Amino acid sequence: MIAGPASMLLSARGISKHFGRNAVLQDAGFTVRGREILGLIGPNGSGKTTLFECLAGLIPTDSGEVQFRGGACPPVRRKECLFYLPDGIRPWAGQSVAWVLRFFAAIYGRSPEEGAALARALQLEALLSARIGSLSKGEAKRALLALGLLTPHPLLLLDEPFDGLDFRQTREVMALLRTVPAAGRTLFLSIHQLTDAARVCDRLVLLSKGRVVGEGTLPELRARAGLDEGGLEEVFLALT
Amino acid sequence: MPSPSGSAPERTRLFWFLAKELRELLASRAFWLLLLMIGPLVGHGFITAVDSYAEASGIGGGPAALAQGLSPLDGILVPAFGAYDLAVTLLFPFVAIRLVSAEKASGAWKLMLQAPLSLPAMLLAKGLALVGAWLLAWMPGLLALLLWKAYGGWIYGPELLNLLLGHLLRVILSCGVAVAAAAMANGAASAAIATLGFTVGTWALEFVAAGRGGLLAKLAAYTPTAALRVFEQGELRLATVVVAAALSLAGFALAAVWLATRRTLPSRLARSLAAVLVFAPILWGAAHLRPTWDLSENRRNSFPAADEAALRQIRRPLAVTVYLAPEDPRLMDLDRNILSKLARILPRVDIENASHSSAGLFERAGDHYGEVWYQLDGRRAMSRSTTEPIVLETLYRLAGVEPPPRAAGGEYPGHPLAVRPKGAAPLFYALWPLAVALAAWLHLRDRRRS
């Protein structure tokens, strides 16, 4: 299935990025449709985080173009279109979870009730008075997800949203994320666990060594790989 | 689903960012350490100053100095607040650097770059929080002033406000340098080295300028220490204020360039160069601003009022040629007693130091060494004096102006006070550190999870 212009939210074409002589992204291009969960799949070091940081306008690209709702979206305006939640960050370690949630809710014009509802949904209520720096990896991930979900942008980029979560928490967060498109937002998730990606994503972008090697639903990718059956792992191995 | 553009109003967001910065400061051990140390530092300066002032005032039956020589500005205010110069040089930069570097290191800055507030506004919030923190650190200094008043000491309001303005500008300049270093450096340690390098560089500039004069001396007049010295002398110079403010702004502008990570390195370098090109003429112009105000109670930066009135009759440019080496104490006397005062009164004073010799012990001075030539309307007069009445007489003769009669009275009375600093030691050495340690413990302790 090819995305039609009506459903296209964001498109990226020819994104390239070098760090010194190392080509991290090479002519990467894909389309994000409205109200979907798109997965960015690739092994460690394939350029997923770099691609997200380029999309968010946090680092400069060597070349490439990003369009949002059919119009040009230069890096300086990206924060109006999308929000990127990085993986492995521990912001404001000395502040309490409650205050950081309140801060995000306030600057993005969300009500305290919305923040409280997210804290409930992500089981953060018992951690509200704890400092960010004292949280475990999984707790910090849930607090960060709450920050990301508090932002009002049409497109939310989450880098490794399940990293650090246990099996039960992963299922619960997946269930929560599945409700997001229904509320009008689009999710673009970077995931290196293929089984997680297959369970939560509507469509997938496969990234290998900085190149997009496939884009579509699992059946579409399977067909492209020339496979009659098999899961995402088989498809990924066949296409890379 | 609200759009980002429909989020909280700009002013509300700025308030929340300011609150965040203040909370981050309070979460910083460096800030609490600064607060802890500033009390004893101020206390030491104040206690030593009060003791010295009391001895000069004749406590314990010793010989008292002339009352006119006892000014609380020199005797109490400057030494007590001198601790802040030390703290702003060696302690405060670490607090300022942390406010930027911690967000860069923790990844918080990636979130902030996407926040619905402009980068300059975010830096404004950081700057305001840092100045607010510094005002909190002024508490021991203000306690010292209260003690001084309680002892029966005299404080001349304009002098005090001018001194506080000088210290405020000093800390804003320090913020600009530290924030720029933190933005440009990879980590807090590199930023700290860069900031201390800047400080040591200004000290070196002052040291070299003291021996060479010329352009270096003009530059050295705007180092943080030299700029503060102007305020410590009770003088308010517009040039010093504007140069310090512009330098601080330049630091924040550089920080804004380097914190915008979406730009390439060549783009950041080009913008940094552009910032330098924009601020260089502003600084040059600011350095030539002439308005100054003598806010000292004893009018140490001014001639007597009658002489000033007489000197104002001279409307032509005065050229002064000085044959004194930069390190010669006579040049310092001449500058402080005569030249800087003339520059405040006359419409134009062109000063040239024509000495190519040195006042070194083993070097031969030039033939004209020690001479000071004054030229007005083509007429010239020479004087070797650095004493105010003698030079003024020379100038009146040269300008054909009737010297004013020497008026008796109206001199600065001085404010001797022979008291010991009772209660100061327990307050600054025990109570203040204990209070700060307790507040820090209450704020920084790990909270239990609910």
How far is residue B274's CA from residue B254's CA, in Å, rounded to a whole number? 10
Rounded distance, CA B102 to CA B45, Å?
A: 33
Is B414 within 8 Å of B395 (Cβ atoms)?
no
Q: Is B48 helix (H, G, I), strand (E, B) or coil?
A: helix
Q: Distance (Å, rounded) from C-alpha A212 to C-alpha A225?
A: 14
Assign B319 to helix, strand or coil. Answer: strand
How far apart, in whole angstroms, are the C-alpha atoms of residue B138 and residue B135?
A: 5
Nearest Cα to A208, choosing from A24, A18, A4? A24
Distance in angstroms (rounded) separating the CA atoms of residues B262 and A58:
5
User: What is the 8-class DSSP label of residue B449?
Assistant: P
pLDDT of residue B357: 56
User: pLDDT 10s per residue in chain B (450 long)?
Assistant: 334 444 668 888 999 999 999 999 999 999 999 999 999 999 999 999 999 999 888 876 666 667 677 899 999 999 999 999 999 999 999 999 999 999 999 999 999 999 999 999 999 999 999 999 999 999 999 999 999 999 999 999 999 999 999 999 999 999 999 999 999 999 999 999 999 999 999 999 988 887 776 788 888 889 999 999 999 999 999 999 999 999 999 999 999 999 999 999 999 999 999 999 999 999 999 999 989 999 999 888 999 888 999 999 988 899 999 988 888 889 888 988 899 999 888 988 888 887 765 555 455 567 788 889 999 888 999 998 988 889 999 999 998 888 888 766 667 888 999 999 999 999 999 999 999 999 999 988 865 554
**Which of A:61-90 have CB within 8 Å of B?**
75-76, 78-80, 83-86, 88-90
Determine the pLDDT at residue A2: 37
Look at residue B1 in the predicted model and tell me its pLDDT: 36
Give me the mean pLDDT over the A201-230 stretch: 92
d(C-alpha B77, C-alpha B397), whole Å:
40
Query: Residues near B284 by Cβ (< 8 Å), separated by ≥ 6?
Result: none
Alpha carbon A115 to its chain's center:
20
Give, to the nearest 10 degrees, the angle between helix B224-232 and helix B238-259. 150
Specify whether the CB–CB gap between A145 and A160 falls below 8 A.
Answer: no
Looking at CA atoms only, how far is residue A7 from chain B in angstroms?
18
Query: Cβ A151–B4 below 8 Å, yes or no?
Result: yes
Name the CA radius of gyration of chain A, rounded. Answer: 18
CA A71 to chain B, closest CA, distance in angstroms equals: 17
CB-based contact, A112 to chain B, within 8 Å: no
Rounded CA separation A159/A154 (Å): 17
How much is the CA Rg of chain B, to the nearest whole Å?
Answer: 26
The helix-helix angle for B29-56 and B119-137 (nearest 10°) equals 40
| A109/B contact by beta carbon, under 8 A | yes
Q: Using one digit for the tens of pLDDT, what is the confidence trace for A14-30?
A: 999 999 989 999 999 99
Q: What is the DSSP letter of A89?
A: -
SS3 of A25, please?
A: strand
Residues 6+ apart with CB under 8 A from B336: none
Can you give the pLDDT at residue B395? 92
Chain B residues in contact with A152 by the CB 8 A cut-off are 1-4, 6-7
Amino acid letter for position B82: G
Q: Name the packing angle between helices B29-56 and B432-444 (round to 10°).
A: 170
Residue with tokens 């290196």: A192
Tell me what pLDDT residue B265 has: 95
Which residue's entry shows tokens 């104490």?
B329
pTM score = 0.88
pLDDT attached to residue A148: 97
Indicate yes or no: CB of B113 within 8 angstroms of CB of A183.
no
To the nearest 10 degrees (0 to 180), the angle between helices B119-137 and B10-26 is 40
Residue A167 CB coordination number (10 Å): 8
What is the length of chain B? 450
Least confident of A138-142, A147-151, B59-63: B59-63
Closest CA to B97 of B192, B197, B213: B192
Yes or no: say if B57 and B416 are a contact pair by the CB < 8 Å rule. Answer: yes
Q: At what angle do helices B92-106 and B188-212 cross, to 10 degrees?
A: 150
Write out chain B residues lying below 8 Å of A93, CB-based. Answer: 27, 106
Which residue's entry shows tokens 């000085």? B322
Beta partners for residue A10, in sequence order: A32, A68
Q: Where are the alpha helices (H) located in chain A, listed in sequence order?
A: 48-55, 78-81, 97-107, 112-121, 137-150, 167-179, 194-200, 218-225, 232-239
Mapped onto helix, strand or coil, the DSSP state of residue B47 is helix
Strands A63-68 and A71-72: antiparallel
Consecutive H or E run containing B198:
helix B188-212
C-alpha A178: how far from its chain's center? 13
Shortest Cα distance, chain A CAs vs residue B9, angstroms: 8
Contact A109 B103 (CB under 8 A): no
Give, for B398, the enclosing helix (H) or strand (E): helix B388-399
CB atoms under 10 Å from CB of B152, counted, come to: 9
Q: Which residues contact B433 (CB under 8 A, 6 or more apart)?
A: B36, B39, B40
Distance (Å, whole) CA A54 – CA B345: 60
State how far residue A53 is from chain B, nearest Cα, in angstroms: 9
Burial B66-81 (b: 16+ CB within 10 A, else e): eeeebbbbbbbbbbbb
Q: Does the beta carbon of A185 lie under 8 angstroms from any beta carbon of chain B?
A: yes
Helix, strand, coil share (%) of chain A residues, nearest 5: 40, 30, 30
B293: Cβ–Cβ under 8 A, 6 or more apart, which residues? B235, B236
Query: Which residue from B minimizes the CA distance to A184?
Result: B1
> CB distance from B11 to chain A under 8 Å?
no
Tell me, what's the pLDDT at A3?
41
- DSSP notation for B135-185: HHHTHHHHHHHHHHHHTT----HHHHHHHHHHHHHHHHHHHHHHHHHHHHS
Cα distance between residue A106 and residue A100, in whole Å: 10
| Token couple for B258 | 């380097």
